[in-house]
Amino acid sequence: MYSLLLLNGGIGARAGAGQPKQLVKVNGLPILVYSLVAADAVDEITQIILNYPDGWRQQIEAIVSAYAIRTPVVYVRAGATRHESVRAMLDAATEDDVVIHETARPLVTSADFSTLVASEHRNVSLMLEIPFTVAPVDPATQRVTGYLERSTLRNVQLPQKFSTADLRDAHAFAEREDRLFTEDATLVAVAGHDVRFVPGSDRNIKVTTPTDIKLATYLLTGGDEE
Amino acid sequence: MSKTLLVTGASRGIGQETVRRFLQDSSPEKGTVDKIVLVARDSQDYTDALAELEAANPRGVELAAYRADVGDRAALLELVDQLAEEQGNIDFLVNNAGYTNPVPLQQVDFTDFERTMAVNLYAPFTLVQELLHRGNHFDLIVNIASTAGITGRSGWLTYSASKAALINMSEVMREELAIYGTRVVCISPGRTATALRRVLAPTEDPTTIMQPGDVAAVIEMLASPVGRYVDSANLVVRQ
């Protein structure tokens, strides 16, 4: 069985000067609802660990309650860094395996979670082929420094699943070595554990800008099915 | 998998005919409803309808009858508590109960307007919201509106307004409940030979207009596998 670590930034920019920050909504629903409902339908996920930005716990709890999420939810305050957040959530995990997801990807499906759970491997990430060329550069001099073979590169997506022990070990490794990673699949691999990938979907976009919200709404309301 | 159907206003008209059709439905490729929850106000009509439905139940579908006025919010909340405790998940919900007292604007009694909204709009809302709060996952919600909700009718202000709001609410429900895979369909029947229609058009010969069973047939189709292919926010059903 799995604990879901659900990273929940979820707070957008101020709507205007003097206005309070708002929970990000997609098609009128708080963005975290999509991931919660998709995960709640997966029997193998028996615990949801949801982090909340400081000061937002009450609002987040109210949403979880209103949507009658059946899986037990544990609330953990977000850390100053992603590493800190994941480590705090790991401390609350009771299962031997975890799934990591972020609420900023509202197009995740229950099937995405089930695909990971069904994999025979212990550490697995959804990943996508890269349809464009990425160049290594030196930003300081604006010099192109070489070539990257894109067939051996992947766009890292969430959700991912890990053995809880491997992920804890990898975070201890990062702390010890004082290294920062932007996501956990590469962290766990660099820490010396076997990590595999399965193909993701280009619909599973990360929503960070107002344009992303429009695109996500278009996809969620079947705009691409016409 | 066996499914549970809940019908409000089940004592007569479209509600009763809907229950009747689901009792008869025995072909496996159609719906697999094996329990029907009926809700209506206590009345002789309801008692008679229940006896009649029990007598014509060839598949042995479980019939669970509740007596409640869905326009009475306190009674409706009590009913939802009972349903959650006794009936398990409601898969198909038909919000059929309706009320009207057609009078011109100058003669509208505000309390009566509130009652119209309570039965025709707040009751469907409350049933859906309260069941969702209890973790219910719907396959299909059918809200019965009216063509009078598409265009306002002189003399029917309260009824027309309540049905217009129901059509609009159905559109919102349809979008918001897509996260569960729930289908929400609003049906707007035209003239149908029901008791409510007799209030709206007392001089009309009911044999000349659409029958409640015709609307029930459409509801049955929506709950069947082929219903998945009907993609309409407001389905107009008329003769």
At residue A25, φ and ψ (nearest 5 deg) are -115, 145
- CB pair distance less than 8 Å for A68 and B176: no
ipTM of the prediction greater than 0.90, yes or no = no
Q: What per-residue confidence (pLDDT) applies to A26?
A: 92
Of chain A, the percentage scoring pLDDT greater than 70 comes to 93
User: A187 CB contacts (<8 Å, ≥6 apart)?
Assistant: A170, A171, A173, A174, A181
Q: Which two tokens mark B167?
A: 């059509």
Give the B-side interface with A, CB within 8 Å.
132-135, 175-176, 178-180
Residue A19 has pLDDT above 80, yes or no: no
pLDDT less than 70: residues of chain B = 25-31
Provide the chain A residues 41-100 that lie in CB contact (below 8 A) with chain B.
66-68, 70
The reply to whether A28 touches chain B by the CB within 8 Å rule is yes
Q: Which two tokens mark A160?
A: 């991912």
The reply to whether A215 touches chain B by the CB within 8 Å rule is no
CB-based contact A196:A119 (threshold 8 Å): yes
Query: What is the C-alpha to C-alpha distance for residues B31 and B84, in angstroms, rounded to an integer?
Result: 22
**Shortest Cα–Cα distance, A38 to chain B (Å):** 8
Reduce the secondary structure of B33-53 to three states and give it as a string: EEEEEEEECCCHHHHHHHHHH
Instruction: Please choose, from the candidates B124, B140, B136, B128, the residue with its C-alpha nearest in 3D space to the C-alpha of residue B227.
Output: B140
CB-based contact B37:B4 (threshold 8 Å): yes
User: In chain B, where are the structural domains located?
Assistant: 4-237
Q: Which of A42, A67, A226 to mutate to probe the B interface, most B CBs <10 Å? A: A67
Chain B residues in contact with A66 (beta carbon < 8 A) = 133
Q: What per-residue confidence (pLDDT) applies to B150?
A: 95
- CA-CA distances (angstroms) from residue A3 to A48, A135, A164? 6, 37, 9
Chain segment A52-100, per-residue pLDDT in tens: 988 899 999 999 999 999 999 999 999 988 899 999 999 999 999 999 9
Provide the chain A residues 126-145 that lie in CB contact (below 8 A) with chain B.
none
Residue A11 has pLDDT above 70, yes or no: no
Instruction: Please choose, from the candidates B197, B171, B168, the residue with its C-alpha nearest in 3D space to the C-alpha of residue B184.
Output: B171
- CB pair distance less than 8 Å for A220 and B178: yes
Chain A residues in contact with B134 (beta carbon < 8 A) = 68
User: B19 CB contacts (<8 Å, ≥6 apart)?
Assistant: B5, B7, B10, B36, B38, B53, B63
- The size of chain A, in residues, is 226
- Please compute the mean of the pLDDT values over residues A19-29 and round it to a whole number: 79
Q: Which of B131, B138, B173, B175 to mutate to probe the A interface, most A CBs <10 Å? A: B175
Chain segment A103-155, per-residue pLDDT in tens: 999 999 999 999 999 999 999 999 999 999 999 999 999 999 999 999 999 99
Q: Are strands B183-189 and B140-144 parallel, antiparallel or unpaired?
A: parallel
Instruction: Give pTM, 2 decimals.
Output: 0.88
As assigned by CATH, the class of the B4-237 domain is alpha beta
Instruction: Please choose, from the candidates B98, B80, B99, the residue with its C-alpha nearest in 3D space to the C-alpha of residue B37.
Output: B80
CB-based contact A185:A160 (threshold 8 Å): yes
Q: What per-residue confidence (pLDDT) applies to B77?
A: 98
Chain B residues in contact with A28 (beta carbon < 8 A) = 175-176
| The residue type at A87 | R
Q: Where is B112: in which H helix or E strand?
A: helix B110-117
CA angle B171, B177, B179 (to 5 degrees): 135
Order of all β-strands in the sheet with B62-67: B62-67, B33-40, B3-8, B92-95, B140-144, B183-189, B234-237
Chain A residues in contact with B135 (beta carbon < 8 A) = 68, 70
Query: What is the C-alpha to C-alpha distance for residues A41 and A70, in angstroms, rounded to an integer?
Result: 9
Query: What is the C-alpha to C-alpha distance for residues B153 and B147, in angstroms, rounded to an integer?
Result: 10
Residue A204: pLDDT band (50, 70, 90) is: very high
